[in-house]
Amino acid sequence: MVADYLPIACAAHERLEFAVLRRRQLQLTWLGEDGHSQSCEQVLPLDVETRAGAEWLTFKRPGGEIEVVRLDHIRSVIEI
């Protein structure tokens, strides 16, 4: 269980779920596991799920690499 997880606003969660359903590409900025800001100009969101007491976004980078980020670590989402 992730003890320090802070739930995000329902509207932001819903926006990510719609991006997954519509296969809308996103410009994404988030805090990495090391605490440093990371970003990618074009990701394809694949899934939003709840596990281990937190919510997660699975996405694919342009090169095909799959990554997972906690929703409360996302700092910016822009639909492109």
Secondary structure, 3-state, 40-59: EEEEEEEEEEEECCEEEEEE
Q: What is the pTM of this model?
A: 0.93
| CA distances to 6, 7, 16, 72 from 10, in Å | 12, 9, 10, 12
* Per-domain residue ranges of the chain: 47-80
Tens digit of each residue's pLDDT, the chain (80 residues): 778 999 999 999 999 999 999 999 999 999 998 999 999 999 999 999 999 999 999 999 999 999 999 999 999 999 99
Rounded (10°) CA dihedral 67, 44, 78, 1? -40
Spatial contact of 59 and 46, defined as CB atoms under 8 Å apart: yes
Looking at residue 3, its pLDDT comes to 80
